[in-house]
Amino acid sequence: MRINLNCIATICMLLFSTPALSTCWNLAEYTYGIDANLLKAIAHAESGMNSAAMNRNTNGTYDIGLMQINSTHLPRLKGIGVTEEMLIVNPCISLLTGASILNGMIRQYGYGWEAVGAYNAGTSSKRVKLRKKYATKIARIYRNSNGYYPW
């Protein structure tokens, strides 16, 4: 089993250095109308660009993959054929899923930093400060990139 996991990790790493992932960023930007560099800033903050990242939250949920998709989304995603494993082994699926979730926040809040904050902190009125804190973090990463990401 260890060999298979190493092979999967190697394949995922190769995806980051190929035009295939570049195409995924462009596809997400085109499909959802969200700047690819903004999506890259979110991926950088969420997972450090690690497609196999998994993190447990204090509320019992967990976050999966490149875009750290919260486990609360899994039932809905299962209905459209996206599994937890796919979010881990296929960074393009994670990216498109994250872009879709952010698009939902944009529909609710408009294209701006509050929507970006809601991507991470959710939509509860009790989480306004957390949304602002996360949005500030992403804005800093986004602006410091000057539109250039080496990945």
- Whichever domain contains 130, its CATH number is 1.10.530.10
- What digits encode the pLDDT tens for the residues 10-55? 444 444 444 566 789 999 999 999 999 999 999 999 999 999 999 9
- Residue among 83, 84, 80, 117 nearest 102 (CA): 117
Q: Is residue 150 part of a domain?
A: no
The count of structural domains within the chain is 1
Burial class (CB in 10 A: 0-12, 13-18, 19+), 113: middle
Mean pLDDT of the chain: 87
pTM higher than 0.85 for the full model?
no
Tokens 């408009």 locate to 110
Rounded distance between C-alpha atoms, residue 26 and residue 36, angstroms? 6
